[in-house]
Amino acid sequence: MKKIFILILAVTFTACNAPAEQVGAGFFVPQPGEKFVVASDEVNDVWVKYIEAHNNRDLDAIRSMNSDSILVVGPDGARIKGTDEHINFLDMWFSMADPKWEIYWSMPYKGVTGGEEWVIAGHSVTLKEGDVEVKKNQMIDGQIKDGKVQLFYVYQMDVPADVAAE
């Protein structure tokens, strides 16, 4: 009798503490049936360090955080392929536009069946267009794998001068 009680207790304890199946939410048309759940903050940490390296103009740190085959898709649809092309672009752009990012929200997520980890983050960006300083809002959706940035998409919105001054 005592063994049966212990067995019932063990089964009940295990059933109550079993990890919940990750059902997820959302969809991604190129991967039918894929759903998404919140990923770990380690993904956020990679992104925060990546943006800090950009703000510090630390091209070596950016290079070390890029996958060799990184793909960057800009707000106009232009594509930058590979770390060398990305670093060359940034070196030129930093000297011309002097962009500075401030992350104001971020959420890591991952595919339930595919397992890819992503971060989607909102940024306020201050940069120069000619001699004029402008503000833009950017939403960046980036894939992170093994601590490296694999690809990211930049979506951008101009912030009107009267709103930027607030």
pLDDT of 5 reads 43
Report yes or no: 108 and 118 within 8 Å, Cβ to Cβ. Answer: yes
Strand duo 36-38 + 66-73: pairing = unpaired
Separation between Cα atoms, residue 54 and residue 154, nearest integer Å: 15
Q: Is this prediction's pTM over 0.95?
A: no
What does the block give as tokens for 15? 């059933």
Residue 146 lies in a domain: yes
Give me the mean pLDDT over the 128-138 stretch. Answer: 94
Average pLDDT in the 111-130 region? 95
Is 26 part of a structural domain of the chain? no
Q: What is the pLDDT of residues 60-119, one digit of tens each?
A: 999 999 999 999 999 999 999 999 999 999 999 999 999 999 999 999 999 998 899 999
The whole domain housing 51 covers 38-164
- Quote the pLDDT of residue 83: 98
* Number of compact structural domains in the chain: 1
* Domain-embedded: residue 4: no
Q: What is the three-class DSSP state of 52?
A: helix
User: For position 29, what pLDDT does the model report?
Assistant: 87
Residue 30: pLDDT band (50, 70, 90) is confident
Q: Kindly indicate the confidence band of residue 14, based on its pLDDT and cuts at 50, 70 and 90.
A: very low
**Domain-located, residue 3:** no
**138 falls within a domain:** yes
Rounded to an integer, what is the distance from CA 112 to the centroid of its chain? 17
